[in-house]
Structures are given as C-alpha cells and as structure tokens.
Chains A and B, each alone.
Chain A
Amino acid sequence: MTFYPLDLAAIGLGIIFFLVIFAFIFNKKEKFILNFSFSVMTLVGLLAVVAGIWVVYDASAYIMIFNLGLPELPFHFRLDPLSGFFLATIGLLVLYISIYSLGYVRAFLGHKSIARFIIFYCLFIAGMFMVVLADDALFFLIAWELMAVASYFLVIYEDEKVDSKKAALLYLVMAHIGAISILLSFGVLAGAVGGDMGFGSYTFDAMRSANFPAAWAGVAFFLAFFGFSIKAGVIPVHVWLPEAHPVAPSNISALMSGVMLKTAMYGIIRIAFDIIGVFPWWWGAIVLAFGLLSAVFGVLNALMQNDLKKLLAYSSIENIGIILIGIGLSMMFTSFNMPVIAALALTAACYHILNHAMFKGLLFMGAGAILQTTNEQNMEKMGGLIHLMPWTAFLFLVGCVSISALPPFNGFASEWLTFQAFLLSPVVPTPIVKLIMPIGAVLLALTSALAAATFVKAFGVTFLGRWRGKVVPKNREVGWSMRIGMILAAFTCFLLGVLPTFVINMLGNVSNQLVSASINTNMDKYNWLWVTPIVAQRASYSGTIFFVSIALIILATFFIFRLKRGAVTRCNVWDCGFGGLTPRMQYSATSFAMPLRRIFGGVFSISEHVRLKYRLRVNDRFVNIIYKPIVRLSYFISRQVGRLQQGRINEYLIYSFVTIIILLTFLK
C-alpha cells in the first residue's frame, strides 16, 4: 500500500478525535491531560504541515470517501494544492499555538476545567482541518458548524466575565446567519447542477463539472460571499469579531484570528475559482470593494482601540481586507482572461493569508503573555513592559514590524506583490475598472501607512515608556513554552520575509490549479534571491540581500561610531527644571491616536465629555447604522408577537380553536 498525503491528514484527524475521548475519560487528571494533549497536538500540527506541503509540492489531488453521513452522500475528502496550502497554514499555527498553550493553559489549572478546554480546542482544530478537506456540501457544513460551535465554547470559556457571554452569543448568532447563507448557496449550486444525480449533486465534484446558468451562479456566489464574509469579519458584517476576540483566551484568539478567518477565505476561493470557475468581472470588483472597505475601516478602528486585543481584532479585519483585495483583483483578471496577472494577485492573497496567520498568531500570543503577566488588557494602564518582559517585547516587536509591512519582514513581501498586481492593471480593457484601480491602490497604500501608525501605538504605549497603572506588576517574563511558541512564529515571519521565493514558487502550484498560470520567479541560478513576478526589468525585490545588507551596514556603523566605549552615562530625564515628571504625563493610547482621530473623525461615532473627568468613547459607526435598527426592529416585532401571550387560558383555547379551523379549511 502506498502512502498518500491525505492519509497523513486523516491520521491527524484520527488522533484529534482520540484526544477528545481521552480528555473526556481522564478529565480528573488535569495536569497530565494538559501536557499530553498539547504535546500530541503539536504533532498533529506537524502532520498537517507535512501533508499540506507534500500535496502542494506534488500538485495533484487525492480523494478519499469515508462511509459516514447520509446513506447516499458519504463524506468526501479531497486534498489538492489549494486545500493543501490551507492545511499547512492551519497546521503550522496549530503547531506553534499548541506549544504556547502548554504554558498558557496552565494558568487555568485549579479554577477552570482543563478537560473542557482541551475537548473544544481539539474539536475546533478538527473542524478547521475538515473544512479545507471536505469535498461535498454536507461534510463541509458539518465541519463548518463543528468549527463554529467549538469556537463558541472556547470564546465563552472564561464564563465568569459578563462580556464574554454577550460576545459569544453575538458570535453564535452571526456565525449561524452566515452558515444559513452558505447552506443556501450550496442548495442553489446543487439545484443548478441538474441531471438525475440525487444527492450526488451535492458533491463538489459534480458542481465542478457542471455548467451553471449565469444568474444562478451569481446568486450562489453572493450568498456564499455573504456567509463567508460574516465568518471572516468583512465590514459591515464584522460586528462579532471585535467583541469575541478580546474575551476569548489568547491562544484561541490567535487561532481564530490567524486561521479560522482564513477558512472563510478558503471558501470564497474554492467556490469562485474552483466550483463556479467562470464569472463576470464585476464579481471581482465587488469583492475588491468590500476588501478595500474592510482594510481602511478595519485599520482606522484598530487605531482607535485602547484594548490591546481589540486593536488586534480590528487589525485582523484590515488584513482580511487586504486578502480580499488580492482575491478580487485575481477574479477580475481571470474574467478578463489574463491568467498571469491573475496568478500574481492570487499568489499575493495566498501569501498574505500565510503571513497574517503567522504574525497575528504571534501578536495574540504576545497579548496573552502580557495579560498573564500583568493581568491587564487596557493599554492606557500599561507601559515600560520592555524592562519587565524583554523576550515578549522583542517578539511582539517582530510581529508589529511584520504586520506594518516593513521590509524585510513577511508582511511587506505580500503587500509588495499586491501593489505589483495593481500596477499591472492598466492593461485591463474596461474603462470603469480603470477608474477603480487607482483608487484601490491609494486605499491600500493608505491602509499600510495607517497600520504602521497603529502598531507604533500598540508597541510604543504597551512596551515603552513607563508603567501607567497604579500598581507596577510584580511578575516577570512568561515561561519557556510560551516563549518558544512565540519565537517559532517570529522566526517564521522572518524567514517568510527574507526568503519569500520558496513559498511563492510553491504557491505557483496553487495558482496553476485555479487560474492555470503561475508567476515567473526564475531569473538565473541565484533565482531564489529575487522575487520577480513578471520580468526582472519590471520589478524585483530581494528580501535576503535586503536583510543582509541592513544587518551589515548597521554593524559597520555600530563599530565605526562606537569607538569611545564606556562613554554612556545614565541620568534623569530633563524635566525643564519643574521636577516631578510622572508616568501619567506620558502620551497615552488615546492621545497618540488623537491627531488621526481628528482627521478621520467622520468615520467613527465619537462622544467626548470634558467635565471633571475626561471621557471619550469611539465607536464603530456601522454598529449604529446597521445593527441598532435591526435590533430595534426585532425587539419591536417580538413585542408585537408577545401580545399574543396574555397568560389567560381562555385566550389560548381560542388560539387553538382558530388554528384547528384554519387547518381544517385549508388542508383538506
């Protein structure tokens, strides 16, 4: 018997379900199952990475049918380069987070059920793996729901907090609105497959080979886009995301933000490129428009947050926006029959998916480390943590630099590719598209500049300066397992930035599968040094040379200008002779964002009170515009319906009587 990558993935899934049962049985031996489960989960992550990379490298599809589910619709598994890429991305983050969790979850020992955490952690990860492996609508939705429900229980894990209950409920409601929409989309697709296939039309294989009528394909795509957008937190259906991420345990926030949102991106790519395949350009334009909206609004809202994890959550919305920009561009170029540029945009999107998983995972792990050391999530009270937690500070800085798209780290590499895709757009024939493209490029550029401001704030206020709270935390650096998890993620960010060509070459197989083209990375025998998407004269970027030369020049500068050693004197900060500089005089998170809050004031709904105390609330405007009316309307309808319920038995008897009469008249 030969051994296929899909077998590896299946073994991984098997181990996860075994762990669930194991944790259930040994739920009393908390310390043991904690160490055992997370150690095994690192192994599962590794298996997924190997399986994923193998299949991407192999560029072929593996299929397996598992006799479970409906009689006529067993579970179809399929592992092709696209799902392989996502499997590897999820696996990699699972690997890091599981190492991190060995230390992080230990803090719950004694006052929370560890078994409960582990069971849902395992189910959540199994759900994500199965979503990308599923090859029929039923299995996909089961996996999707498993992922949603398991993550709900993880969000609500610290259920002593009022916020977490509210946030988790909102998340559950939103997730299900999304799931219904996806379900409907699959229904439309299966219906449009036609023929006499029965349940067979619910397999993705049948859908792939079908020719959809344009109108039904459009309905299906936009239903799916709406459903996946809710999961991904695309503005304006993002409202659950900034609520759920801050209250979840940090390792779960890292997984949710790093990879769970990406399963929605997977869904969009799968349905658009693989299942439907042929579409008009304006689908791509709509995806692009929502991407731009999410990117700009996401980053502006991130900038305004004072809660570190909420800031990171909004920044995830921004990054989802950047990924959608890539996907949208790729869809547009595909519909104009320009496969190479489409491949470039798709590669940019996929690369950003991987990059964002790494740096956002890292940043959430860092936020978790801060939370555990200081018990504080509000940046207004933090400061100077670089002295208390030098490791976390350095690793968090790597995350900040990566996410701000600064070279030579990985965020820059994927944004660079996206910009290159924009710059190739003048070849597009349609005039309206020519109008959209420059504006898109401007907004993307604005986003990346604002992201840098956001993360200067996040790092500067949290780690630099002096502690702003009342009591300086006594705890020091977090334990080694947490540090190792973060070190690995940081190192991956660095490698992906410095050696982007390897991954981009591999992604060529993904784009070959979907848009039947891949970008050209060959230049000469040193081709791994340079990324050259189209031709070398057009544009090239070398992360490796970049890093090496920056490092060398800095070292040289350091040794040349540091001739007089020991001439550094530590002294007090100059206080203009007034004396008594206190930490409260520092710029705070609110004041740092003030100039930009003023410039982009129209975007938020701001209420500012200056009385004896200064109070400022910056809210997401979309909540007021969209959600408040919906909430009010549903309250109104409920109240009207509620009038029926009077509590008098005679009225209820009349209701039953009327119902029976109606039924008798109409259902003869």
Chain B
Amino acid sequence: MKILPYILELVQVLILLVGAPLFVGWIRRIKCWLQGRKSPSLFQPYFELLKLFSKDVYLAENASWIFRFTPYLVFGITLLIGAIVPILIIDLPFSTTADVIAIVGLFAIARFFTALAGMDVGTAFGGMGSSRTMMIASLAEPAMLITVFTVSLTSHSTSLSQIVQTLTNNGILATLRPSFVFSLWAFLMIAVAETGRVPVDNPDTHLELTMIHETMLLEYSGRHLALMEWASMMKLFLFISIGKAVFMPWGIAQSGQLLAIPLALFFLIIKFMVIGVILVGFETSLAKMRLFRTTEFLGAALLIATLGMLSYFILE
C-alpha cells in the first residue's frame, strides 16, 4: 500500500480545517473595508473557536442524546466531504467512495441531524429554524442535484475527480456551453442559500425572526457550539471548493503530479481570495429577503438548473 496518497488526503483535510476559519476571517475583513469599518484580525475566527472550546457546556435539561451527538456528527461528516471533494488534487483514496450525489446526501444527513437537534430542546425557536431549514433545503437540494447532474452529463461521470479531469483535459472552452452557464448561475444561488449567506439568511444576525441557521444553534454552548460553528465555516469552504472543481477546475493537480501541488495551492489561495471579494460584494449590495421571498429565489434557482439540464439534452 502506498502511503503518499493518504498523506495528501490528510494534507487536504488539514487545509480544510485551517482554511475555513481563515476564509471567514478574510470575508469579514473585506466586508469591514467595504463598509468603512476597522477590521479585526484575520485570525479572529480562530480566537472565537478557541474561546468556545475552552468554555463549559451548558445543556438544556430536556436535551437528549441527539442534541449532544449532532455536533460530532455534523463536524465529522463535513470533514469526510472534505476528504472526498478534490480541493488540491484529484483521485485521492477517498474520492471513489462517493460521487456528487452521495456528497449531496452527506450534506443532507448533516442538515437532517441539525434540524432534529433544533427541535430537541423543545423551544419555539429551534423548531422554527428546523422548519425553515428544511423548507429551504427541499428546494435547494433538488436544484443542487440537477446542477451537478448537468455537469456530470458532459463528463459522463458523477465522480468529482472524473469531472475535474475531463474538464481540465478539454481546456477552457469545455465550460463555455449553455448548460454550464445555467448551471453556474443556479449553483451560485444555491450556494448562497445552503451556506446561509445574505440574501437568504444572515450569519451575523441574531434578530429572532430573521435568522434561520442560527436558531437551531441557539441552545448550543461550549465545545458543541464550537464544532457546529466550525462545521458551518467548513461548509462554506466546501461549497466554494465544489463550485471551483466543477466550474473552474484549472490548477487542481492531476493524480500523481506532486510538483503541481504548490501551484495548486497557489491557485487555491488566489481563487478563494477573489471569490471572497465577490461574495462580500453581493452581501453588501443586497438586503436580506423576507422568508417567503426566498422561495421565489430558490424556485428560480431550481428552474434555471432545470433549464440547464434541458439545454444539455436539447442543444448538446
């Protein structure tokens, strides 16, 4: 058994663990700059996580094992996705374990348990968050699936590694097709919704009636909260990584090309910095939507994704 692939696997997971809070710090910094505020350190998210890890856990008396188990499950599953998605290099040992459908399934299982944890304590807020999350997911998940289906039709594979390889081999023109344009458009909308960013949800707010993801975490504290927060940072990082792998795979190292890894890392940093700027641009220029406007937003995403798939079937 060769050890090198497993080391690379580990490196990729470490990049995810370390990079996710850093990326959030980067987003906050850009946001501060855009809004003319003085920004905290780039490493502020780390400090917050550290603080939470050092605190005791206060558990509501009604909480069951599901409430305590969920943070570990969500964190573990997010890490597993990180081991499958080609962030740096393709054909990692875990990449055959699951294709894009299974990755969507993994996100779904994390969401399923988060929603259950929200209902566990038995307060109005938790249930509200769960209900809204499932509502958003029930529209966003099919749109997400259709998007990746469209892309996988081009590369005749649902395996992310294979998609990256086909696209890279075919050159930049491979992604200049109508189905890709629709898919990219839909994917951006879904990514915004799934990672809880403006205009669907606002990660910074604690206003009771507008928050969605936060409501399910309200009763968490200490290390549980830290794990959930960290996992949601990684989720943002992973969504961007999936988008990056599917729509702009250039720079991701091919299998066995060790020398390409530093270059891949360089591309990774550049891409994330640019995407961070774009994301903040959107977030500052848009206002958060009313809850029932988000269904129109997501319905549009689903429609665009379907159009993408139809255009593949008809035009290509």
Contact = CB atoms under 8 A, between A and B. Distances in A.
Interface of A: 383-384, 386-387, 393, 397, 401, 404-407, 412, 416, 419-420, 422-423, 426, 431, 434-435, 437-439, 441-442, 445-446, 448-450, 452-453, 455-457, 459-461, 464-466, 530, 536-542, 545-546, 549-550, 553-554, 556-558, 561-562, 564, 567-574, 581, 583, 585-587, 591-596, 598-599
Contacts of A387: 62, 64
Nearest to A585: B124
A664 to B, nearest CB: 68
B9 to A, nearest CB: 11
B66 interface: yes
Nearest to A576: B208
B92 interface: no
Nearest to B129: A587
B149 interface: yes
Contact of B142 (A442, A542, A587, A594): A442
Contact of A595 (B109, B149, B219, B291): B291
B149 A423 contact: yes
A645 B140 CA distance: 62
Interface in B101-123: 101-102, 105-106, 108-109, 111-112, 115-116, 118-123
Contacts of B219: 573-574
A592 B106 CA distance: 23
B127 A460 contact: yes
Interface stretch (B23-31, B53-61, B264-272, B282-290): B53-61
A595 B140 CA distance: 14
B138 A446 contact: yes
A586 B122 contact: yes
Interface stretch (B74-82, B167-175, B197-205, B241-249): B74-82
B157 A538 contact: yes
Given A441-B309, A599-B295, A562 B159 contact: no
B146 A561 contact: no
Given A460-B119, A464-B64, 18 more contacts: A401-B109, A423-B152, A423-B153, A435-B313, A438-B310, A441-B309, A445-B145, A449-B140, A450-B138, A452-B112, A455-B112, A456-B112, A461-B119, A538-B159, A557-B79, A558-B72, A564-B56, A568-B59
Contact of A466 (B57, B77, B122, B130): B122
Given A412-B105, A550-B77, A569-B59, A452 B119 contact: no
A594 B131 CA distance: 8
A435 B310 contact: yes
A464 to B, nearest CB: 5
A593 B138 CA distance: 12
A591 B159 contact: no
Interface in B184-238: 219, 222-223, 226-227
A406 B115 contact: no
A569 B98 contact: no
Contact of A587 (B73, B128, B141): B128
A456 B115 contact: yes
Contact of B162 (A439, A445, A537, A553): A537
A561 B219 CA distance: 19
Given A465-B120, A554-B73, A594-B131, A549 B142 contact: no
Contacts of A558: 72
Contact of A567 (B57, B120, B146): B57
Nearest to A405: B105
A416 B131 contact: no
B183 interface: no
B137 interface: yes
B239 interface: no
Given A456-B130, A550-B80, A465 B121 contact: yes
B251 interface: no
Contacts of B146: 438, 441-442, 445
A431 to B, nearest CB: 8
10 contacts: A386-B64, A431-B314, A435-B313, A441-B149, A442-B305, A446-B142, A449-B139, A536-B96, A550-B77, A586-B119
Contacts of B62: 384, 387, 465-466, 573
Range of interface residues on B (Cβ < 8 Å): 35 or more
A568 B56 contact: yes
A662 B178 CA distance: 74
B284 to A, nearest CB: 27
A439 B130 CA distance: 28
A422 B99 CA distance: 15
B223 to A, nearest CB: 5
Contacts of B122: 383-384, 464-466, 573, 583, 586
A587 B126 contact: yes
A412 B98 CA distance: 12
B35 to A, nearest CB: 30
Contacts of A587: 119, 124, 126-128, 130-131
Contacts of B227: 557, 561
B134 A554 contact: no
Interface string B300-315: 0010011001101110
Contacts of A420: 158
Nearest to B114: A456
A325 B109 CA distance: 24
B27 to A, nearest CB: 25
Contact of A407 (B106, B123, B140): B106
A541 B123 contact: no
Nearest to B125: A587
B312 A426 contact: yes
A406 B306 contact: no
B94 interface: yes
Contacts of A401: 109, 112
Nearest to B138: A449
A586 B109 CA distance: 23
A541 B105 CA distance: 12
Contacts of B240: none
Given A445-B145, A453-B138, A581-B123, A595 B131 contact: yes
Contact of A445 (B58, B80, B142, B312): B142
Contacts of A423: 149, 152-153, 158
Contact of B159 (A397, A540, A553): A540
A558 B71 CA distance: 9
A591 B123 CA distance: 13
A457 B131 CA distance: 8
Name, among B64, B122, B314, the residue most crowded by chain A CB atoms within 10 Å (CB to CB).
B122
A560 B106 CA distance: 22
Name, among A539, A572, A586, the residue most crowded by chain B CB atoms within 10 Å (CB to CB).
A539
A598 B131 CA distance: 12
Contact of B108 (A452, A546, A554, A593): A452
A537 B157 contact: yes
A549 B157 contact: no
Name, among A437, A541, A556, A571, the residue most crowded by chain B CB atoms within 10 Å (CB to CB).
A541
B145 to A, nearest CB: 4
B96 A540 contact: yes
